[in-house]
């Protein structure tokens, strides 16, 4: 069935989309944030949320 459709349409019968997670802009942002964490920049302390169900 796949080969019949490829032969008839002369293309693969589906579109290939790249995952936007791996876009160059996103990778650059992740690398920037990782460098900030390693250099202890732009870090804020947050209070822990404790769920004490008694």
pLDDT band at 45 (very low <50, low <70, confident <90, very high): confident
Q: What is the pLDDT of residue 53?
A: 67
How high does pLDDT run on average in the chain?
Answer: 86
pLDDT surpassing 80 at residue 11: yes
pLDDT band at 37 (very low <50, low <70, confident <90, very high): very high
pLDDT surpassing 80 at residue 2: yes
Structure tokens at 23: 């876009």
CA quadruple 25, 26, 31, 34: dihedral sign: positive
Q: What is the pLDDT of residue 27?
A: 92
């Amino acid at each position: 069935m796949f080969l019949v459709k490829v032969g008839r349409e002369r293309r693969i019968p589906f579109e290939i989309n790249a995952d936007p997670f791996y876009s160059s802009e996103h990778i650059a942002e992740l690398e920037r944030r990782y460098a900030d964490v390693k250099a202890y920049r732009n870090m804020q302390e947050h209070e822990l949320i404790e769920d004490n169900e008694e």
